[in-house]
Amino acid sequence: MPSSQLSGIALMYANCFKRLIDFFCALMAIICLSPVLVALTILGAIKMGGNPFFTQPRPGKDERIFKLVKFRTMTNAKDKDGKLLPDDVRLTKYGKFLRSTSLDELPELFNILKGDMAVIGPRPQLVRDMVFMTPEQRKRHTVRQGLSGLAQISGRNAITWEAKIDYDLEYIKKITFMGDVKIIVTTLNKAFIKRSDITEENCDTATDLGDYLLASGRLTQAQYDEGQALAKKLIAEM
């Protein structure tokens, strides 16, 4: 936690009360939304033809890797060689609906309850994204990753990787209760009322950071391969 950036009251909130509030909010949300969670679990099992949940290793606070849980939005369709088809092919209409409303994120309430995540914070990226971040960018992992965050209300996948991480770093420098409340209200407003920033593009899977840097010429193929190998090693060791 960048304590030097926060005032006494803000620091107390970030280090103590934020976790308590997160736990209470997640518990209340799970109870209140239990009919929705049950309905989406059943519907997901029917639509996806099996397990409606999707788990994936993600780096959390202090880069500790945890298993993030979401509702499944893509099938496991494979080509003739047994390899998964591209994400845009496997993403179903039902999955696009879940993503456009952020309902696919609801199971993450259980991650918040466990302490893996917070209600508000930088979104947990992939391990293979983290390994390509600079030391400064990796400071985004000094706090619990969130269900929503400053970057998500500022453009979601429509903004560049650099802008997304800059928003994350801006957030951790000024964590406040009212700031978190504002992000929550804006998230709900964008997702369910105005539905701004909800486009076909935002429903697609974001380009990995490594792929983005390689395509823009900021990584060599050797550096890319080394980073991917490191990511696999970190996941294997979790």
Q: What is the pLDDT of residue 158?
A: 80
Confidence of residue 85 (pLDDT cuts 50, 70, 90): confident
Q: What is the pLDDT of residue 80?
A: 82
Q: What is the pLDDT of residue 192?
A: 67
Could you tell me the CA-to-CA distances from 160 to 151, 166, 167, 188, 193 in Å, in that order? 10, 10, 11, 23, 25
Q: Which strand (E) or helix (H) includes residue 56?
A: strand 53-59
**Amino acid at the residue 38:** V
72 within 8 A of 53, measured Cβ to Cβ: yes
67 within 8 A of 56, measured Cβ to Cβ: yes
Task: Convert the pLDDT of each residue in 88-133 to its tens digit.
Answer: 888 999 999 998 888 999 999 999 999 999 999 999 999 999 999 9
State mean pLDDT over 136-150. Answer: 97
Give the start-to-end residue ranges of the domains of the chain: 3-236
pTM tops 0.85, yes or no: yes
Confidence of residue 204 (pLDDT cuts 50, 70, 90): low
On average, the pLDDT of the chain sits at 90
Q: Is the pLDDT of residue 222 over 70?
A: yes
State mean pLDDT over 184-192. Answer: 84
Confidence of residue 209 (pLDDT cuts 50, 70, 90): very high
Could you tell me the CA-to-CA distances from 233 to 2, 60, 66, 111, 224 in Å, in that order? 28, 17, 14, 23, 14
Task: Convert the pLDDT of each residue in 13-31 to its tens digit.
Answer: 988 899 999 999 999 999 9
- Give φ, ψ of 55 to 5 degrees: -115, 145
